[in-house]
Amino acid sequence: MTTAAGKMTLEQFLAFDDGTDTRYELVDGELVAMPPETDSNNVISIYLLAQLLRFVPLRLVRHKDTEIVVTGSRPRVRIPDVLVLSEELFAAIGGGRATITAEMPSPVLAIEVVSPGKASEDRDYRYKRSEYAARGITEYWIVDPGRERVTVLSLVDGLYEERAFVGEETIAFDILPQLALTAQQIFEAGRV
């Protein structure tokens, strides 16, 4: 759902506060209200967060709260479900607003749990894929409950190479090879 009349600059977006708890992404200068997550998607993202925290320090993990400025002809700001930061990025964010600007280092990992519907699928599989690659995010996981598939995208020479995992096959994560998960485990966690 797109809101607000006219195009916003990045500076206007970063100063915007409508007094509600609504989360917005900025796409081509327009505010896009993020629909509420399904309970299942929330549980899946929390499960993944818990798994990451076994190997990644708490200070480097973000859950649905950190904006990232991505490339585009007009300003674009995304809010991934889960992010893993590098130490350098953690230091660059400091204590201010949880926004990763274009001048800051890229996150190491972005995870999106796909919500139902074509618009969400397009956003996560198409748009964010190219935006995250252009932003230099090392690894991008697309966790799709509707298809019960986990797609791991690894950045190689500026483009993502894709591997898809289903069922009981152990997922190969480049940045966290010690993380042993299957798609089945992830989607079982979301069956609330």
Domain extent, residue 128, equals: 36-189
Whether residue 152 lies inside any domain: the answer is: yes
Whether residue 27 lies inside any domain: the answer is: no
Whether residue 99 lies inside any domain: the answer is: yes
Whether residue 110 lies inside any domain: the answer is: yes
Q: Where are the beta strands (DSSP E) in the chain?
A: 2-3, 24-27, 30-33, 61-63, 67-70, 76-78, 82-84, 99-100, 109-113, 139-144, 149-156, 159-166
| Structure tokens given for 64 | 């649905």
Check if the beta carbon of residue 108 is closer than 8 Å to that of residue 137: yes
User: For residue 133, what is the domain's CATH number?
Assistant: 3.90.1570.10
* Predicted model pTM: 0.88
Give 18-50 pLDDT, tens digit per residue: 888 888 888 888 888 887 788 889 999 999 999
Whether residue 122 lies inside any domain: the answer is: yes
Whether residue 28 lies inside any domain: the answer is: no
Give 60-94 pLDDT, tens digit per residue: 999 988 999 997 667 789 999 999 999 999 999 87
Q: Nearest CA to 87 among 101, 106, 67? A: 106
In the chain, how many domains are there?
1
Whether residue 30 lies inside any domain: the answer is: no
